Amino acid sequence: MKRRSEGKKRIAVGLAVMLALAGTGCASPQTGGQESAAPGTEAAEENAALEEVIRLSFANVDSEEHPVSQSIMYFADQVAELSGGSMEVEYYLSGVLGDEEAETEGVLSGELDFTRVNGGNVASWVPACGVFSIPFLFNDLDSFKAKMASEEVYAYFDQEFQDAGLKLLAFWYDGVRHMYTTDHFIETVDDLKGLKMRTMTSPLIVSAFETIGVNPTPINYSEVYTALQQGIVTAAENNMNALYDSRHYEVAPYVTGTGHLMFPAVVIMNLDRWNSLSPENQEILTQAMANTFDYEYDLVHEQEETALQKILDDGGMYQEFPQEQKEALQDMLDPFYDEVAGELGQEVLDLVIE
């Protein structure tokens, strides 16, 4: 209960600041589609006749240059095009409305319409998403993408999200996660023992890292750079795009290619807001998101390689985790797999596991 009220408070404060600054032009939202028409022109008169434009808000923690944010802009453009300008998505990037927790709370409360959140973090609201916390769940990107595009998988999780007051619009690709440390590469599973590592807050993720000997330390994403710099933690894990975007490699330059997690991200909408839309407008959003699916996957995957090269060019270091050590890591995780089956049930495991 405390976490929920704090999340609402943060998003309310963020929205209040946003609205106050919007009046000065300092924090106006960005939108997809056509630019505003000049006053007095024919286009402006046509716009004036469209007073009933449906405006939808979309918040995201990543910077404007991040491929996820680029995908949100693409989605906004798709909505504008498919609706003929009768629907408009206003997006707030770079975490200006808070972290993923605050944004999710904002969508739940109806103060925001959309957000995109990591599939592990959203398990706090939709426990079935805890299944995505299982390391080495997918063999490769193709099998991951096929599973996330499955109508059966979507239908199951959409109902789980609706039970929580949310509408699931899509599973996006969040990249492959690797480990990075402040002072050494991780070369064997023994190097993980006692390692104080920042992890996400999901209880199952914490449990997975405890199972392999790590000392997991959940810390808000915005605080990780300072925590690494000050030695509060000596390691963290994330995908390459996030690692480059956050500049964590400046204080934790030893990047080990563990590839331990391939997370989906979820694009979610307030369920009441979704239900308030006409079937025609729901179809526009559905089609716009379908059009964005391949774009997001391809862009995130392409920029993973680009991000790694930029990290190396900027002084970071990279080393692959040996395959035999990955296999040893999977063996160590057997008790965790049993824990997940007991907590989430066999149905969701059978649905998702390869």
Give domain status of residue 235, yes or no: yes
Give domain status of residue 261, yes or no: yes
Residue 8's pLDDT is 39
Give domain status of residue 45, yes or no: yes
Band of the pLDDT at 48, cuts 50, 70, 90?
Answer: very low
Helix (H/G/I), strand (E/B), else coil: 32:
coil
What length does the chain have? 354
- Cβ burial, residue 141 (10 Å; 0-12/13-18/19+): middle
Give domain status of residue 347, yes or no: no
Band of the pLDDT at 139, cuts 50, 70, 90?
Answer: confident
Give domain status of residue 169, yes or no: yes
- Considering only residues 18 and 192, tell me which one the structure prediction assigns the higher pLDDT: 192
The model carries a pTM of: 0.81
Beta-strand relationship, 166-181 and 215-218:
unpaired
CATH number at residue 241: 3.40.190.170
Give domain status of residue 349, yes or no: no
Distance CA 64, CA 94 (A): 7
For residue 312, the tally of other CB atoms under 10 A from its CB is: 14
**What is the CA angle 283-102-23, rounded to 5?**
80
CA gyration radius for the chain? Answer: 21
- List pLDDT tens digits, range 84-97: 999 999 999 999 99
Distance CA 175, CA 335 (A): 26
Q: Distance of alpha carbon 39 from its chain centroid, rounded?
A: 39
Are 231 and 182 a contacting pair, CB within 8 Å?
yes
Give domain status of residue 348, yes or no: no
What is the token pair recorded at 243? 């690692």
Which H or E run contains 91?
A: strand 87-92
Total structural domains within the chain: 1
- List pLDDT tens digits, range 300-328: 999 999 999 999 999 999 999 999 999 99
What does pLDDT average to over the chain?
Answer: 88
- List pLDDT tens digits, range 250-283: 999 999 999 999 989 999 999 999 999 999 999 9
- Considering only residues 263 and 83, tell me which one the structure prediction assigns the higher pLDDT: 83
Band of the pLDDT at 51, cuts 50, 70, 90?
Answer: low
How far is CA 78 from each of CA 133, 140, 169, rounded to the nearest angstrom?
Answer: 31, 29, 14
Give domain status of residue 249, yes or no: yes
- List pLDDT tens digits, range 146-161: 999 999 999 999 999 9
Range of the domain at 84: 2-342
